[in-house]
Structure 1
Amino acid sequence: MAHALNGKHVAILATDGFEQSELLEPKRLLESWGATVKVVAPGDGAQIRGWKDKDWGDSVTVDQPLQGATADDYDALVLPGGVINPDKLRIDAQAIAFIKAFGAAGKPVAAICHGPWLLIESGLASGHRLTSWPSLKTDLGNAGAEWTDAEVVVDGHVITSRKPGDIPAFADAVAKALAA
């Protein structure tokens, strides 16, 4: 997969409370394969803080404020989980509009763990086969998705995974979608 993603641009949409490994590890892997990855976040803060092992984790630099971000500038969108992060983002109209723009353009939208809450809010869950952290199964079903327990699920341009242990398969699925 080395250098297969040169020239590809990926946005990771997150805010305070993102699951640290679900942002940092896909970012590291995608960059190692040649993609340019930017952390996009609401507000005007220079950093957002992760969540790791039941407590606050490391801070990550925000590369692009959400206010100036557009789906036209990116080839794919990654939505990390954590409980706090997607719960904050799903009530942010600008974040939901950003996600919807990727969906409308048919660009890959990849969500892991609790990240699929954002697929529900943006209308991208309905009619798709998805996976997530198990506690979202009912939410996704109520939103019109078919939930399945799998390491990674690719349904059209929507990519989902369950948990941090699935990150290698998740990042590989994003890379394959970008390289296609």
Structure 2
Amino acid sequence: MGFSFNPHDGNVELVMDFTKMGKKAWRKPENVAAKIRGCYYICHATFPSFESIRVGNVHIFECAGYDWKMDMADLKMFGKISDESHGSFPSHIQQTRFFNTPSMLNIVVSMARRLVPDELSGGWKVGCQFAGGRLDQFYMLPDKAAASQRTYAKLCEALKIRYECERRFSLDDD
């Protein structure tokens, strides 16, 4: 839904719709291939510089309409793909905010937080609310096509920065 670089903090904010990660997204092989490629390039785009890796990113997820009971297996699949595509890549998530989560999930996360190390769970914020309802009412302006093009252009710009940074700071073979 959204992607932006915050030059003041040196981090990236990535906004995604959790409902796009559910069962329907994994039914066709071409969708799986697209999701794998997407995870890979989004990982590189969200950490365009050493500063962004140090500072960490902010991830924001819209969860309204996501079927948590039915799609937990799909989250495991997403986690495996995420680990495979950028598990060895240095990354730091400063904060993850989940908007419009059901009350039961808020309770489960608050209880599970005690079992997970602080460096993983410290930045989790569940139960966040947006005054306008769903986040896409804010991020998908003026319409979905224009917002998608805007997000795509920002991702491409971040990838250019990332690959330029990688080219400048890679070790020579000689």
Q: Normalising by the residue count of structure 2, what TM-score does the alignment of the two structures yield?
A: 0.36
Structure 1 or 2: larger helix share? Answer: 2
Higher RCO (C-alpha under 8 Å, 6+ residues apart): 2
* Structure ID, larger Rg: 2
Name the structure where strand makes up a greater proportion of residues. Answer: 1
